[in-house]
Amino acid sequence: MSQTVNAVVVKEKNGPAVLEQIVVPDPIAGEVVVDVLTCGVCQTDQHYQQGEVGDNFPYLLGHEATGRVSQIGEGVTNVKVGDTVILNWRAVCGECRACRKGEPQYCFDTHNAEQKMTLTDGTELEAALGIGAFAEKTLVAAGQCTVVEDLPAESNAAVGLLGCGIMAGIGAAINTGEVKRGESVAVIGVGGVGTAAVLGAKLAGATTIIAVDLDERKLATAAELGATHMVNPSETDVVERIRELTGGFGADLVIDAVGRPETYKQAFYARDLAGRVVLVGVPDPSHTLELPLADVFGRGGSLKSSWYGDCLPSRDFPMLVSHYRNGNLDLDAFVTERVALDQVQEAFDTMNRGEVLRSVVELQSAPKN
C-alpha cells in the first residue's frame, strides 16, 4: 500500500523548490522505505533546480540524509525496520568492471530504487542522486543505507552530511589525495567541501594545512577546524604564498575545492615537484583548461579528480562516525542552521550568500506506518 507524504519538488528549470504531496510506493525486492530525519541543503540540489544536472523534471530534491527504516522489501538483509541509517548515492553493484577488479569505490553501475515515486497525479519524479530526501519518506535501494548505532538524535543532522559534501571533502584528502603523516596540504576554497578537506587532512596527520579563500569568515572557520595557515588571494599571490609556507617548494598535496580554471592552475603550480593535485570542486561544463604540456610532464606527480571522495560508504561512514563519536571529527561545526521542510528555497538563498556551511532540514516527527 503506497503512502502520501510531503516533499520538496521543483517542476521546471529555475522553478521554485515547493512543498508538494508525493506518493511513495511500498518497497519491492531490494528496496527500502526510510522515514527521513534530517537532510542537508547541498549545492547539488540547486544544480538540479537550475537544470545543470539534466532536464528530467520534476525533480524530488535532497540527498544528504539520515533516516529510520520503516519498510524493507524482499531479500533485504543489510538493514532492518527501526535501523537509523545514513543515505548514500553509491550503492555498489558488485558486478561492473570497477567492482570486479576490486575497486567498488569507482562502481560504474550504482543501484537506485527500481520504482519511481510520483506526484499525486501519477507524474513520475526523478529523485536527486537517486535519493530524494527532502521528504517525510523516501524510497531507496537497500545498498544506499548505512546503519549508524548508538548516537543521540541531535547528532543525526551532523552525521547525515557524510552522505555527500562532507564525505567528498574528507575523502578528497584521505582517499584520493592519500595524505600521509607529516605532509603539507593546501585547500583552495573552504566552503563546506573544502573545510571538510581541511578536517580530512588533519585526521590523516598533515602538519601544515593551508586554507585559501576570499572570505575571511570561511578562513576563520577553517582555522578553528585544523588549518594552520590562512591565505586570502585578494592580499597575496596564492602560489607564492603556499611555496613560502612550505619551505619554498610547494605543498605535497593541493586540493581544488572550487573547480575553476584559475584555481586549478593555482593548485597545479602550488604543489611540490612530484606532488599531487586533487580536483573535488565541480566545474562548470563550459569551462576549459589550458596548461603547457611541458609543465605537466616536467613537474611529475599526479593529477586526480575525486568523485564523492572516492568513498565506499560501507567502509568509510562507520569509520568517520566512530571518529565523530570519539571527538576526533567535529561534524557538528558544519551544521550552521536547522530549518523546516518548507524552508528549502530560503536555505538556497542563504547558501548563495555564503552565510552557512550547511543548512539542515529537520523533520521532527517522521510519519508512522
Complete DSSP assignment for 94-153: S-SHHHHTT-GGG-SS----SS--EETTS-B-EEGGGT--SBSEEEEEGGGEEE--S--G
Name the band, by pLDDT with cuts 50, 70 and 90, for residue 366.
Answer: very low
Q: Which parts of 197-282 are beta strand (E)?
A: 208-212, 229-231, 251-256, 271-279
Per cent of the chain over pLDDT 90 is: 96
pLDDT per residue over 39-66, tens digit each? 999 999 999 999 999 999 999 999 999 9
> Taking a C-beta distance cutoff of 8 angstroms, is the pair 67, 138 a contact?
yes
Identify the pLDDT of residue 364.
Answer: 63
Tell me how far apart the alpha carbons of residues 116 and 130 are, in angstroms, rounded to a whole number. 10
Identify the pLDDT of residue 367.
Answer: 42
Identify the pLDDT of residue 119.
Answer: 98
Tell me how far apart the alpha carbons of residues 15 and 9 are, in angstroms, rounded to a whole number. 9
Contacts of residue 348, defined as CB under 8 A and 6 or more positions apart, other chains included, come to: 17, 41, 45, 46, 49
Identify the pLDDT of residue 121.
Answer: 97
C-alpha cell at 230: 590562512
Per cent of the chain over pLDDT 70 is: 98
pLDDT per residue over 231-241, tens digit each? 999 999 999 99
Write out the H or E segment, with its range, that includes residue 318.
helix 313-325
Contacts of residue 144, defined as CB under 8 A and 6 or more positions apart, other chains included, come to: 32, 87, 88, 89, 91, 111, 112, 130, 131
Quote the mean pLDDT of the chain.
96
Give the mean pLDDT of 161-172. Answer: 96
Residue 147's Cβ-count burial label (10 Å; 0-12, 13-18, 19+) is middle
Identify the pLDDT of residue 69.
Answer: 98
Give the mean pLDDT of 268-277. Answer: 98
Give the mean pLDDT of 263-275. Answer: 98
Question: Grid coordinates 586540493 are at which residue?
Answer: 255
Identify the pLDDT of residue 285.
Answer: 87
Give the mean pLDDT of 350-357. Answer: 92
> Taking a C-beta distance cutoff of 8 angstroms, is the pair 39, 86 a contact?
no
User: Residue 365 above 70 pLDDT?
Assistant: no
Prediction pTM value: 0.94
* Kind of pairing between the strands at 302-305 and 271-279: parallel
